[in-house]
């Protein structure tokens, strides 16, 4: 079964025990996490490799759903010719991004901006003692981008607390 903070019985039955209800109340898990875990549990029947996947959490922004799994499980989620992701898209009616949890911030940024190539990533320290992460993308700002930069900024903020600044630079 997909590894998660929830008890297996609670996921299978759809009824939360007192301990899982407490996790939901404290914010350790969300209703969205619960929904995604149930979807993954159903998909396990078709795709047995999901039994070993460690689900961390799900984050939603606009029409994008970011599913965070253990770094080593990203490949399992993306395997089967994309059938797992397509099944999740069909269930949620959202664009799905599978992200590795617990990795470095650079990998997270690259995954969020995929398929756009990144020239460099810098940290900017501001006078008010905060910092921003400046992401410089290759080329001019295209008219039609495959990634909504505002959604990426919101996802980065929610997932890892990063404030992103996006710029373009021609080589």
Domain boundaries, the chain: 1-102, 104-171
Mapped onto helix, strand or coil, the DSSP state of residue 160 is helix
Same fold for the domain at 1-102 and the one at 104-171? Answer: yes
Mapped onto helix, strand or coil, the DSSP state of residue 8 is helix
Mapped onto helix, strand or coil, the DSSP state of residue 144 is coil
Q: What is the architecture, at CATH level 2, of domain 104-171?
A: 2-Layer Sandwich (3.30)
pLDDT of residue 98: 94
Q: Are residues 74 and 99 in contact, defined by beta-carbon separation less than 8 angstroms?
A: yes
Q: What is the CATH number of domain 1-102?
A: 3.30.300.20
pTM score, two decimals? 0.89
Query: Judging by DSSP bridges, how do beta strands 64-70 and 164-169 pair with one another?
Result: unpaired
Rounded to whole angstroms, the Cα distance separating 106 from 122 reads 10
Each residue of 30-78: pLDDT tens digit?
999 999 999 999 999 999 999 999 999 999 998 999 999 999 999 999 9
Q: How confident is the model at residue 90 (pLDDT cuts 50, 70, 90)?
A: very high
Rounded to whole angstroms, the Cα distance separating 60 from 66 reads 6
């Amino acid at each position: 079964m997909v590894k998660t903070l929830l008890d297996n019985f609670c996921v299978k039955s759809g009824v939360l025990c007192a301990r899982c209800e407490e996790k939901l109340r404290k914010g350790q898990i969300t209703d969205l996490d619960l929904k995604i875990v149930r979807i993954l549990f159903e998909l396990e029947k078709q795709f047995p490799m999901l039994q070993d996947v460690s689900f961390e959490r799900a984050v939603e922004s606009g029409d994008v759903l970011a599913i965070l799994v253990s770094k080593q499980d990203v490949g399992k989620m993306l395997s089967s010719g994309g059938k797992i992701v397509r099944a999740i898209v069909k269930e949620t009616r959202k664009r799905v991004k599978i992200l590795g949890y617990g990795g470095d911030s650079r990998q997270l940024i690259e995954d969020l901006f995929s398929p756009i190539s990144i020239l460099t990533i810098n940290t900017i320290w501001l006078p008010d003692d905060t910092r921003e992460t400046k992401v410089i993308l290759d080329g001019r700002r295209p008219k039609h981008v495959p990634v909504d930069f505002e959604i990426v900024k919101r996802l980065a903020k929610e997932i890892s607390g990063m404030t992103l600044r996006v710029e373009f630079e021609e080589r």
